[in-house]
Amino acid sequence: MIMRPEDIKIKPLFPEHYVNYKSNHKDILPSKEALLFESVLDKSATERKVQRYIKSNKKWFIPYSILDGYPFYHHGGAYLFVEQQLGTKHRVDYCLLADDSDGYHLLLVELEMPNTQYLLQESNTESKAVRKGLTQIRDWRIWLDDNRAYFLKNIGLSDKGIDIPMSRIHYCLVVSRRKFMDERAKKIRSDTMAENTNLRIITYDRIVDNIANLEM
């Protein structure tokens, strides 16, 4: 992900972590990449296969595209940290750093199984994969409540004079597919997001859409 200085349009806090679709992937078509990723999802029983596809091919624009829909998303790029540790017990699949007029924001992303029901059959209870993801994010939030300053220093932000309050730390759970989301599941998902500050829950199909919409 290392870029030439002339390619970088914002101040390069962490050049080795900088992601910009236009500069990093000039020869790739978003529509084609969206179809390729959708094909991978159709064949993946676990999130590990999805992760392997992203990491082995260094397709960092895939997690970067998750920023689409957030007010601090812009096509100038963002910083991506892969498998970021939260202390010794927790690990975030992807940590994205981006800014807007309010300052810098962090988005912590948890990937769970793609091809799984969102709810248990004939129940208003989330499936095991959804519950696992929500538990992970709850544990991250609890840890950050007590260790935010330590985390910002560990990631290198404090040394650059950047402080990010809890109100600008966001969480995203990626799980399931649209074909498993009936009206009941959508309502329960909406209720869960409403009850948890700065939490979004999206399906993998949302990422497919975001990839297709990446600007060249």
For residue 6, the model assigns a pLDDT of 41
**What number of CA atoms fall less than 13 Å from residue 211's CA on the CB side?**
23
What does the angle CA 45 – CA 46 – CA 48 come to, to the nearest 5 degrees? 135
How confident is the model at residue 72, as a pLDDT? 87
As a whole number of angstroms, the distance between CA 187 and CA 167 comes to 25
Residue 87: predicted pLDDT: 87
Place of tokens 């409540």: 145
pLDDT at residue 75 in the model:
65
DSSP state of 101: T
Residues 6 or more apart in contact with residue 209 via CB below 8 angstroms: 34
What are the average pLDDT values for consecutive 10-residue runs of the chain, which has 216 residues? 42 79 66 95 94 94 93 82 92 94 94 96 92 97 96 91 95 97 96 97 97 80
Q: What is the pLDDT of residue 1?
A: 41
**In the chain, where are the structural domains located?**
5-212
The per-residue pLDDT for 11 is: 57
Which residues neighbour 12 within 8 Å (Cβ) at sequence distance 6 or greater? 5, 18
How far apart (Å, rounded) are the C-alpha atoms in residues 31 and 122? 37
Please classify residue 37 by burial: count the beta carbons closer than 10 Å to its beta carbon, then call 0-12 exposed, 13-18 middle and 19+ buried.
buried
Domain 5-212 carries which CATH code?
3.40.91
